[in-house]
Amino acid sequence: MRKKIVAGNWKMNTTLGEGLNLLEDILEGISARPDLETQVVVAPPFTHLEAFVNKAWDSSDIAIVAQNCHQEENGAFTGEISAAMLASLNVDGVILGHSERRLYFGETDEILAQKVRIALENELVVIFCCGESLEEREANRHIEVVSQQLQKALFDLPEESWENIVIAYEPVWAIGTGRTASPEQAQEMHRAIRSYLAGQIGHLAMEVPILYGGSCKPDNAEEIFAQEDVDGGLIGGASLKANDFLSLIDHMEASL
């Protein structure tokens, strides 16, 4: 069975103290759910990573990942963080290609291809985000756009890399807007992604988790998580409240 994942992207939210309190509440919730099959992932700001890895080291149910890394190994890139630095903290992985990074920080498919490669070389799991804008969806180009994002960043990787790749489909028009893809829209895209992957990597496509992201909340997750090709969620806003996040994990478990 494909891995099921509920991942929280905290973005630029919480001070270290606030973050530790939130993590504590999540860890408490996880230990009250002893038979979890869902892999829980938390992506806090860079400044929290070391403390979070230390706090969560004995829980295999939770993975700590970063929200970004630089595409070069090291060098004169003031303010940036390398994949090797993340690996040296025992961080489990990294989110790459989030639409906010593409939009506000000019990350292109070509830069993302470099980031993916260097993250994998440093044995980080990559949660690779893709998704179309509203304009692209309205022009009925959503599947083509997402396929191109995947093609450009992922398809010259060696086969064994795919064990460490998770795809997150995040329609840009649904991120932080309160507007969610319908379960049918999510399933249509997830199926399209899986069949596109199958065309490139064959049977391995069946093992790649594909998460949905975009205003996913306790009151809409049940139907989305029930879709055949939806293997979990990448959650922004709702991951900042422990109860909501735990409730999303419960919805994922109920769909198994």
5 lines the binding site for ligand PEP (CB under 6 A): no
Q: Is 190 labeled as catalytic in the residue annotation?
A: no
Task: Output Rg (C-alpha) for the chain, integer angstroms.
Answer: 17
Site string for ligand PEP, 131-170 (x = CB under 6 A): ---------------------------------------x
234 lines the binding site for ligand PEP (CB under 6 A): yes
DSSP helix/strand/coil, 120: helix
> What residue has token string 């064990």?
163
Handedness of CA 118, 119, 121, 127 (dihedral sign): negative
Cα–Cα nearest to 196, from 109, 251, 130: 130
Nearer to ligand PEP, 44 or 236 (CB): 236
Nearer to ligand PEP, 66 or 238 (CB): 238
Cα–Cα nearest to 96, from 118, 63, 74, 121: 118
Q: Is 98 labeled as catalytic in the residue annotation?
A: yes
Residue of 8, 19, 171, 213 that binds ligand PEP (CB under 6 A): 213
Residues in the chain: 256
Site string for ligand PEP, 237-256 (x = CB under 6 A): xx------------------
Q: What angle do CA 128, 241, 247 make, to 5 degrees?
A: 80
Q: How far is the CB of 178 from ligand PEP (least distance, A)?
A: 8
- Interacting residues with ligand PEP (CB under 6 A): 9, 170, 175-176, 213-216, 234-238
